[in-house]
Amino acid sequence: MTAENFTLDARRTTRIPMRIPVVLIIKDSERDRYIDGWTQLVNVHGARVECKHEFQNGDEIHIQVPFKGKSEVGTIVWKDGGPNKNGNWEYGIKLRHSENLWGIKFPPTDWNVQKTSKEISGIPSNTAIAVSPGFEKAKAMLAKENKEIAFCTVPVLSNIDHAIVCQQVSIPAIDSPQMQNVDATVTEIEIPIEATTEPATTDGEQTDERNQTCGCVEQPPAELAITADTILQPSSLDKELGNSQRESEENIAEQNEASISTISGNQADFAPSAEIQSAMDQFEITAQQRIEELEARAIHRLEERVNGFYAAQSVIFDNKIADALQMQIQTLENNGHSLLEKMQEKLQASEQKIQLDSRLAIHNELAEQVARGKDDLQTEIANLAGTAKASIRMNVEKDLSTLESEFATRCQQQAEQEIGSQLDEMTQVLTSHMEHAENFLCQRTDRMMEEKSAGFLLDLESKSEKIHAESTAQAEQQIRMIGAEVSQVLLDNFGSELTRIQQECIQQIETQMQELTNQKLQWARSSMLHFIGTLGDCLTQLANMENNITGNEAENSMHTEAVNETYITRQL
């Protein structure tokens, strides 16, 4: 509505802000199209509606209220400039006939035409009612309640009351104009329909006019109407029920006062006699008792209905909560399983990485120890050869073939025996220690280090044999060289001192070879023991690293450096 066509007549009816779900039906290519919408303001002549579809001014649509089961044809008389923040278009719809489609009790002044609502049964066959979930239950509850409670327009008079009133000829009839106000006031109360001996009226048109005069329409009162908002919002049920109960009690009290005042005014108009006065008093007492009884019954029925509705909504709400909790529990279980699987995969990857790093570190350390031992052995052999050569040159001056052969044979045999025995002992000790290490590694690393240990033993034996062969060859070469030099000296210096020199030389050589052999064997024994101890420390460190997956690499490196320093100190 614009400022040019604004008039006071345009706001002649009561407008109520209420959000009610409706269905808008339009013709689209010779078929019906259903569009969901919501009301913003309602009155008896139309409503302000919002929906997703765009209409034009003057379009004729069919509006339905599934909750009430009613429909009416309307016209678009106002359109907003554009969609709102929710993307909905807002329209003003004017009904072809004044209708109460919304389930609201409007004031009597808003009605200027007879009621022309069409129920669902009166809609053409080609127009189907779109009923959303939740409306059928509320509709069934209302239908059941309407069967129990009827909005009567007959006067509340029993057979005894009619007999008392009709005793005097001068008393007006029940349906006379003088008693019309009393009937209108009493019939506003919700009472069950009861048969009377003298019904006040049987004409349907007179009943409609009386309902229009007293402000009643053929619909449930506003306090008993269950709207879609009430169903969708159970949290406001207690508040609405309390308000409806208070409004019902206030309406009943006002109706009682109006009935008493109307009866008193009518009595003042025709000045009844004593008998009439007593009859009227008895009628008033009976009506008051009947009103109290109806009030108690209505309140009891309302409480039963409220309790039933509240119990149904509670069950629905509990079921929804249980479903939501079940879904949340299932989601949490799935997430927990996936998280555990990921953690297990990461743990296995870290274990494999730590084991690989440990193997590489042990292999590198053992390789360094073997290389260092080989270099030390070669250095000692070279020093031994030089010392023997110098001592022989100084002490031996004459060459004796017998001494050379005997000395060479004895030295070779003694060296072979000593070295063989020491090698056998070292091999046995090393074999026992390696077997123990292999068993320990099989228990700790699930037979993963067994192959490495076996390979290491093979390499160690091969390297030991190689070192033994090289040392033997070098010793034989040195002995041959020394023998040649001794032969040359002995040939130059023979004589009387041959026997003495021979004996002294043999004794010195034997002593020196014995000492050298003992020193070498002691050094080899200590080296092998230290090597075995280092290997045991490495295996212990590997076991500790396996037990502590997140082990400290810094501590391992410090331990390795300490082992190396200890080994170097022992060598020095």
Given a cut of 50, whether residue 203 has pLDDT beyond it is: no
3 state SS for 299-347:
HHHHHHHHHHHHHHHHHHHHHHHHHHHHHHHHHHHHHHHHHHHHHHHHH
Between 358 and 1, the more confident residue is 358
Give me the architecture of the 8-132 domain, per CATH: Beta Barrel (2.40)
Give the rounded percent of residues in the chain with a pLDDT score beyond 90.
5
Give the rounded percent of residues in the chain with a pLDDT score beyond 70.
56
Distance CA 174, CA 162 (A): 9
Lowest mean pLDDT among 80-84, 278-282, 531-535: 531-535
List the structure tokens of 116: 């022309």
* Cβ-based burial of 407 (10 A; exposed 0-12, middle 13-18, buried ≥19): buried
Helix (H, G, I), strand (E, B) or coil at 508: helix
Digit-coded pLDDT (tens) for 415-429: 777 777 777 777 777
Quick one: pLDDT at residue 477? 78
List the structure tokens of 470: 């090289």
Quick one: pLDDT at residue 37? 92
Given a cut of 70, whether residue 113 has pLDDT beyond it is: no
| CA atoms within 13 A of residue 270's CA, in its CB half-sphere | 17
| CA atoms within 13 A of residue 499's CA, in its CB half-sphere | 1
Quick one: pLDDT at residue 554? 57
Between 457 and 527, the more confident residue is 527
Quick one: pLDDT at residue 104? 81
The single residue listed with the structure tokens 């009227």 is: 280
Helix (H, G, I), strand (E, B) or coil at 493: coil
Quick one: pLDDT at residue 112? 56
State phi, psi for 167 to the nearest 5 degrees. Answer: -70, -35
Model confidence at 51, in pLDDT bands (50, 70, 90)?
very high
Other CB atoms within 10 A of residue 122 CB: 9
Quick one: pLDDT at residue 450? 64
- Maximum alpha-carbon separation in the chain: 193
Give the mean model confidence (pLDDT) for residues 150-175.
38
Quick one: pLDDT at residue 76? 93
Distance CA 331, CA 341 (A): 16
List the structure tokens of 135: 């409306």
Give the mean model confidence (pLDDT) for residues 352-371.
86
Model confidence at 118, in pLDDT bands (50, 70, 90)?
very low
Task: Determine contact, residues 185/214, Cβ cutoff 8 Å.
Answer: yes
Quick one: pLDDT at residue 482? 73
**Mean pLDDT, all residues of the chain:** 68
| CA atoms within 13 A of residue 393's CA, in its CB half-sphere | 9
Between 566 and 233, the more confident residue is 566
Lowest mean pLDDT among 71-80, 110-119, 210-219, 454-463: 210-219
Digit-coded pLDDT (tens) for 36-45: 999 999 988 8
Quick one: pLDDT at residue 374? 82
Give the start-to-end residue ranges of the domains of the chain: 8-132, 144-223+234-328, 347-571
Q: Which of 137, 135, 142 is nearest to 312 (CA)?
A: 137
DSSP 8-state secondary structure symbol assigned to residue 222 = G
List the structure tokens of 420: 């063989």
Between 414 and 444, the more confident residue is 414
Task: Determine contact, residues 505/394, Cβ cutoff 8 Å.
Answer: no
Given a cut of 80, whether residue 168 has pLDDT beyond it is: no
Give the mean model confidence (pLDDT) for residues 335-357.
87
Model confidence at 324, in pLDDT bands (50, 70, 90)?
confident
3 state SS for 73-115:
EEEEEEECCCCCCCCCEEEEEEECCCCCCCCCCCCHHHCCCCC
List the structure tokens of 226: 């269950």
Quick one: pLDDT at residue 218? 38
Of the ranges 13-17, 52-56, 165-169, 449-453, the best mean pLDDT one: 52-56
Helices (H), 396-449: 401-445
DSSP 266-291: HHHHH---HHHHHHHHHHHHHHHHHH
Quick one: pLDDT at residue 77? 93
Distance CA 234, CA 309 (A): 10
Length of the chain: 572
